[in-house]
């Protein structure tokens, strides 16, 4: 049941996810709006592409942190339960999931910058780390391997998102997996597919740009 506290933290999670890391960092330290360059995307990948790793790495960490932080707002609603050390209940886990999803929506459609956001992958990763670090680590490993082999960030993101439900269903033990996580894990690849439609089309045509970070730094 929704109550004022729950609604407050849902709004806070959205506002947290909405923080325009890429836009803020680019304007503050480089006097550039990354949305006007490269892919036009307000995310970590375009920040790497336009401004280089010295800007891209902090933006990446900020975007991941937004998802992780939002998930852990549960600590203020859990009646003394510490999500870092204690096992959360099924109901608490579902609240965490709701906060994390709201943060991803905030990143996709940030109120601060006219609802022009990024693709949400880094913030989604922060959500996954907050919910199940082991499954998130497996996805990171898949992304890293695919990226270093292919140099395609988009392909790495797509395959990493596909790896997440595989790990949840077939590798983690049942006692480590909440049923809500299983259901949500199925939607992770779909979200990535939706936000990467243009990338997929370019990959099929052989027109997707390989990563060449730091050229404009």
Contact 76, 99 (CB under 8 A): no
Residue 38: DSSP 8-state: T
Sign of CA dihedral 197, 123, 37, 209: negative
Give strand ranges (E) for the chain: none
Contact 29, 57 (CB under 8 A): no
Contact 32, 47 (CB under 8 A): no
Backbone torsions φ then ψ of 159, nearest 5 degrees: -70, -30
**pLDDT (tens digit, 0 to 9) for every residue of the chain, 217 residues total?**
568 899 999 999 999 999 999 999 999 999 999 999 988 889 998 999 899 999 999 999 999 999 999 999 998 886 656 666 667 778 888 999 999 999 999 999 999 998 988 999 999 999 999 999 999 999 999 999 999 999 999 999 999 999 999 999 988 876 667 788 889 999 999 999 998 998 999 999 998 888 775 544 4
Domain ranges of the chain: 4-205
Residues in CB range of 153: below 8 A, 6 or more apart? 45, 147, 211
Backbone torsions φ then ψ of 215, nearest 5 degrees: -65, -35
């Amino acid at each position: 049941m929704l109550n004022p506290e729950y609604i407050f933290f849902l709004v806070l999670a959205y506002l947290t996810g909405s923080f325009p890391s890429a836009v803020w960092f680019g304007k503050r330290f480089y006097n550039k709006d990354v949305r006007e360059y490269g892919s036009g995307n307000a995310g970590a990948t375009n920040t790497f592409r336009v401004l280089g790793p010295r800007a891209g790495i902090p933006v990446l960490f900020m975007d991941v942190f937004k998802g992780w932080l939002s998930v852990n707002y549960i600590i203020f609603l859990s009646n003394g339960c510490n999500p870092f050390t204690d096992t959360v209940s099924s109901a608490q886990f579902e609240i965490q999931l709701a906060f994390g999803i709201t943060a991803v929506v905030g990143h996709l459609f940030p109120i601060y910058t006219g609802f022009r956001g990024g693709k949400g992958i880094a913030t989604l990763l922060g959500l996954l780390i907050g919910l199940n670090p082991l499954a998130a680590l497996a996805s990171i490993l898949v992304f890293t391997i695919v990226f270093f082999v292919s140099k395609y960030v988009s392909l790495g993101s797509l395959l990493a998102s596909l790896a997440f439900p595989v790990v949840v269903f077939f590798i983690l033990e049942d006692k480590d997996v909440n049923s809500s996580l299983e259901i949500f894990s199925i939607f992770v690849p779909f979200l990535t597919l939706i936000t990467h439609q243009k990338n997929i089309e370019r990959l099929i045509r052989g027109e997707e740009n390989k990563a060449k970070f730091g050229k404009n730094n």
